[in-house]
Structure 1
Amino acid sequence: MATHGTTPPPGRRQGGCLPTLVILAVILGLAYGASKVFDDSGSTSSSSSSSSSSSGGSGGDKASSWNVGDCGGPDPEDAPDGYRALDCDDSGATFKALAVMEASILPDAIQCPAGTDLIIQVKISFGSGGDKGGGIPSKTVCGRNLSGDHPGDAGAGGGQLVKGDCVTDTAQEVACASAAGSGFKVLDLVKDAKQCPSGTTEPMRLTLAIGRPYDVICAARA
């Protein structure tokens, strides 16, 4: 954006080398200032990635380039909800990325694949301060636990709702092991009840949620 202002009147030309020295001093001053702004890599600002299920934890440079198969774990500097990227053989690694998706400010707009145990929102903050609770959402990491505990598996009762899960009559997810006779099995998740597969006995229309990829749970008695 251009800055408008008044143009100063031309100064009176003086003889001698003083103007040359002044110009040289200005150039040296600008060069010194530039050395403070630009680091060795040419970056004008430092950036740190933060990743957590709700706010953010420092993840370093690796966290800003998450890929499927990368691992991570809790960030002790951003407890209790912060996570950071780690090597998969690191003793602190607790999950592996099943999928890496675009970020969204809408909580229901991201649908991770089946088997996702936790959903981590990666945020990027600029500057050396690194506000743990702030930043710009950049990616969503769908993580699966490295341990044998997988609440995101179909029917296990945790994670996002997927085909094969079970719900109550109020559409609350529960473990299928405890839903027999009183709960419903999820046959599909669709936008309109007309899209439900055969065998659906209880199409549950949900309240409107902007960004959610489905509006109806196609269910049958468990």
Structure 2
Amino acid sequence: MVTQGATPPPARRSGGCLSALLTLAVILGLGYGASQLFGDDSSSSSSGSSGSSGGKSSSWKVGDCGGPDPDDRPDGIKALDCDDSGATFKALEIKEASFLADSVQCPPGTDLIVQVKVSYGGSGKGGGIPTNTVCGRNLSGDHPGDAGAGGGQLVKGDCVTSQAQEVPCASGGSGVLKVLDLVKEKEQCPAGTDDPMQLTIGIGRPYDVICGGRV
């Protein structure tokens, strides 16, 4: 559900003014998989979609909550009060938005990433100008973004296959490697690294090498 590099649609006038509509594109489970290793920038454990928002405002703060937007199925998200029965996640951190998805790095424990966009004219669905990024953690006990759980952005403590695909450490099998560090150069990998994996260039990504050690 990654929406990257969306080009703002041309502004249209209606009744003498521009209507601004807030849209949210949900980015779930960003891992860096085998596709990155071989030059495809799609993530290994996520799918992409976008949707329009309802909710409070385009200005999110740490501690704000959100959940699915029933008026924009299947992937729309809207801001909600945390005690609302529809709330499913809380904002851990608010980041600057970017057209380069790899440049947005959320903290460990992030289960989903919500890109907040504003579009001018039309319905606003599926496009717009990124304004900020919400790093969200599930309100339930399901936390795929925790280190080793197999989801979220790749962090130290996660596990990957020999093809750099993120998998749960508990069920990855004998060939799984643990991520000891994420660095720019192989020479920066720590002691215990058995397989430093050189990734294809990712514009904005803060690392180019996965330092893998045997589990």
Q: What's the TM-score, normalizing by structure 2?
A: 0.78
> SS at 1:119's partner residue?
strand
The equivalent position to 1:193 in structure 2, one of 177, 186, 193, is 186
Q: Say whether 1:65 aligns with 2:59.
A: yes
User: By how many angstroms is 1:131 displaced?
Assistant: 2.1
User: By how many angstroms is 1:201 displaced?
Assistant: 1.6
- Look up the match of 2:137: 144
Gaps of 5+ in 2: 1-14, 27-48
User: By how many angstroms is 1:157 displaced?
Assistant: 0.4
> How far apart, CA to CA, are the structure 1 residues paired with 2:73 and 2:89?
16
- Look up the match of 2:176: 183
Structure of greater relative contact order (alpha carbons < 8 Å, 6+ residues apart): 2
> How far apart, CA to CA, are the structure 2 residues paired with 1:99 and 1:156?
20
Q: Which has the higher helix share?
A: 1
Q: Say whether 1:76 aligns with 2:49.
A: no
CA contact (8 A) 2:22 2:124 kept: no
Determine which structure has more spread, i.e. the larger CA radius of gyration: 1
The equivalent position to 1:49 in structure 2, one of 4, 8, 22, is 22
User: By how many angstroms is 1:180 displaced?
Assistant: 4.6
CA contact (8 A) 1:51 1:59 kept: no
> SS at 2:193's partner residue?
coil
- Look up the match of 1:22: none
Q: Which runs of 4+ in 1 moved over 4 A?
A: none
User: By how many angstroms is 1:99 displaced?
Assistant: 1.0
Question: Identity over the aligned pairs, expressed in percent?
Answer: 70
- Look up the match of 2:211: 218
The equivalent position to 1:166 in structure 2, one of 159, 162, 178, is 159
CA contact (8 A) 1:201 1:219 kept: yes
> How far apart, CA to CA, are the structure 1 residues paired with 2:126 and 2:135?
20
- The amino acid of 1:212's aligned partner reads R
Number of residue pairs matched by the alignment: 179
Q: Say whether 1:111 aligns with 2:84.
A: no
> SS at 1:157's partner residue?
coil
Alignment root-mean-square deviation, CA: 1.5
> How far apart, CA to CA, are the structure 2 residues paired with 1:135 and 1:81?
16
CA contact (8 A) 2:21 2:124 kept: no
Gaps of 5+ in 1: 1-35, 38-43
> How far apart, CA to CA, are the structure 2 residues paired with 1:173 and 1:196?
19
